[in-house]
């Protein structure tokens, strides 16, 4: 298939697997065109508003053994858990002092925090801060997620990781693809904002599977797309595997923008870890928000899902300032004025001004 035919198919609203696969294989010349089309689409549909979101990793205990993940239960990493009041203090500081409007609370699959503890946490944070609050905590029962929603949680970040049930179950022993999909469907029923996505370039992933992953985002009605390249962690059985190239990861991002024109799509930290130019390149290939790690530095060293995580030794203030200056430096606007009515604008999903 010709590159231009593949682009036309996407632009006419179709989403054929063959066209997506063809664009994933774009050569350097075609790739430039793909990125600039994605950037134009971003400009036309979501404009210059670029959000800076915070991620706070509150526990690295995990009961799972995902082959790719550096905090899997067999990993020798030093474990930590933040106390609920410490989590609240840190989120409140990020919201009040640094101006964060959206924060993701992330952890391994850690049952130490009961459903009730998480609800308390959500209530306290929402009482103290005017932010959009996301949880990224993996599998819980529908009842637990329903209570968490009532307690004030706005969204969930829950990647399907791969749309191949075979690869999923190979990479995540003891977990089921069906359960993952069931969560994504009840999240919508519970009216959560849903951020989902996959790992680009997992070992044994074919370009056809990657194309299927991209198309799954539409079927799953993602409000926010969270995708990032696979980074081999030395603490895992996949230590000797390779990362995908940055251009492949960027092509995946750009295709997502062409297909899902209005979606919010951050540059995930894995892009920045894969390549120091990852942020700059991704923001010009369709991405429209940044993620900053706001985990207290004494803990973030241990949240080693993959090695050399971008900026882990740097001060959170400095990273935040740099992110804001970066956004302004490229002529975009930092989203600031969420104020009261956060959710409709988020799901709109252009950023509120």
Cβ burial 86-95 (10 Å sphere, 16+ → b, else e): ebbebbbebb
CB of 145 or CB of 230, closer to ligand SAH: 230
* Tokens of residue 298, six digits: 């004494």
Instruction: Specify the stretch interacting with ligand SAH by CB under 6 A; choose among 9-17, 230-238, 280-288, 294-302.
Output: 230-238
Minimum separation from the CB atom of position 269 to ligand SAH (A):
9
Q: Give the chain's length.
A: 353
Least spacing, CB of residue 161 vs ligand SAH, in Å: 5
Q: Indicate which single residue of 50, 90, 106, 205 sits in contact with ligand SAH (rule: CB under 6 A).
A: 106
136 binds ligand SAH (CB under 6 A): yes
Stretch that binds ligand SAH, among 3-11, 142-150, 153-161, 248-256 (CB under 6 A): 153-161
The answer to whether residue 264 forms part of the interface with ligand SAH (CB under 6 A) is no
Residue 226, C-beta contacts closer than 8 angstroms, at least 6 positions apart: 157, 159, 195, 196, 197, 266, 268
Q: Does 270 bind ligand SAH (CB under 6 A)?
A: yes
CA–CA gap between residue 220 and residue 341 (Å, rounded): 25
User: Applying CB under 6 A, which of residues 34, 52, 56, 69 lies at the interface with ligand SAH?
Assistant: 69
Q: How many CA atoms lie within 13 A of 250 on its CB side?
A: 28
If one asks whether residue 155 binds ligand SAH (CB under 6 A), the answer comes out as no
d(CA 129, CA 99): 10
Query: Which residue in the set 140, 159, 251, 309 belongs to the binding site for ligand SAH (CB under 6 A)?
Result: 159
Considering only residues 209 through 228, tell me which ones interact with ligand SAH, judged by CB under 6 A. 228
Strand partners, 132: 102
60 touches ligand SAH by CB under 6 A: no
Residue 177 makes contact with ligand SAH by CB under 6 A: no
Q: Does the protein bind ligand SAH through residue 164 (CB under 6 A)?
A: no
Q: What is the per-residue binding string for ligand SAH in 191-210, x denoting contact by CB under 6 A?
A: --------x-----------
Burial class (CB in 10 A: 0-12, 13-18, 19+), 194: buried
Tell me which DSSP letter residue 347 carries.
Answer: H
Q: How many residues bind ligand SAH (CB under 6 A)?
A: 19
Q: Annotate 215-231 with DSSP letters as a single string.
A: HHHHHTT-SEE--EE--
Q: Cα(264)–Cα(183) distance, rounded to whole angstroms?
A: 21
Listed in order, strand segments (DSSP E) in the chain are 49-59, 102-107, 132-136, 155-157, 193-196, 199-200, 224-225, 228-229, 266-267, 289-293, 333-334
Query: Does position 306 bind ligand SAH by CB under 6 A?
Result: yes
Minimum CB distance to ligand SAH smaller for 228 or for 286: 228
The answer to whether the CB of 119 falls within 8 A of the CB of 126 is no
Q: By CB under 6 A, is residue 158 in contact with ligand SAH? A: yes
Residues 313-352 that bind ligand SAH (CB under 6 A): none
Residue 102 beta carbon to ligand SAH: minimum distance, rounded to whole angstroms: 16
Contact segment (CB under 6 A) with ligand SAH among 116-124, 133-141, 145-153, 246-254 equals 133-141
Contact 49, 333 (CB under 8 A): yes
> Which residues of this chain interact with ligand SAH, rule CB under 6 A?
68-69, 106, 108-109, 136-138, 158-159, 161, 199, 228, 230-231, 233, 270, 305-306
């Amino acid at each position: 298939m010709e590159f231009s035919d593949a682009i036309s198919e996407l632009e006419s609203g179709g989403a054929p697997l063959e066209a997506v696969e063809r664009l994933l294989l774009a050569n350097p010349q075609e790739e430039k065109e793909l990125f600039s089309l994605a950037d134009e689409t971003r400009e036309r549909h979501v404009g210059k508003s670029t959000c800076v979101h915070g991620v706070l990793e509150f526990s690295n205990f995990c009961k799972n053994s995902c082959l790719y993940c550096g905090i899997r239960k067999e990993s020798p990493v030093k474990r930590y858990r933040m106390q609920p009041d410490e989590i609240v203090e840190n989120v409140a500081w990020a919201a009040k002092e640094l101006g964060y409007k959206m924060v993701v609370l992330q952890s391994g699959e850690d049952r130490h925090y009961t459903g009730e503890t998480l609800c308390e946490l959500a209530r306290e944070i929402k009482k103290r801060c005017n932010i959009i609050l996301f949880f990224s905590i993996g599998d819980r029962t529908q009842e637990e997620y329903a209570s968490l929603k009532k307690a004030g949680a706005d969204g969930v970040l829950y990647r399907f990781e791969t749309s191949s049930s075979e690869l999923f179950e190979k990479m995540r022993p003891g977990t089921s693809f069906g359960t993952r999909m069931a969560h994504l469907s009840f999240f919508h029923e519970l009216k959560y904002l849903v951020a989902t996505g996959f790992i680009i370039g997992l070992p044994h992933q074919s370009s056809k599977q990657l194309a299927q992953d991209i198309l799954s985002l539409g079927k799953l009605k993602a409000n926010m797309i969270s995708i990032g390249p696979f980074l081999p962690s030395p603490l895992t059985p996949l230590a000797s595997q390779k990362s995908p190239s940055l251009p492949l990861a960027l092509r995946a991002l750009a295709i997502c923008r062409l297909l899902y024109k209005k979606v919010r799509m951050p540059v995930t930290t894995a892009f920045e870890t894969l390549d120091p130019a990852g942020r700059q390149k991704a923001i010009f290939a369709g991405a429209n928000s940044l993620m900053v790690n706001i985990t207290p530095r004494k803990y973030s060293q241990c949240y080693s899902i993959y090695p050399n995580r971008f900026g882990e030794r740097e001060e959170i203030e400095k990273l935040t300032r740099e992110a804001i200056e970066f956004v302004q430096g490229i002529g975009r606007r930092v989203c600031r004025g969420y104020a009261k009515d956060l959710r409709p604008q988020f799901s709109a999903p252009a950023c509120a001004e």
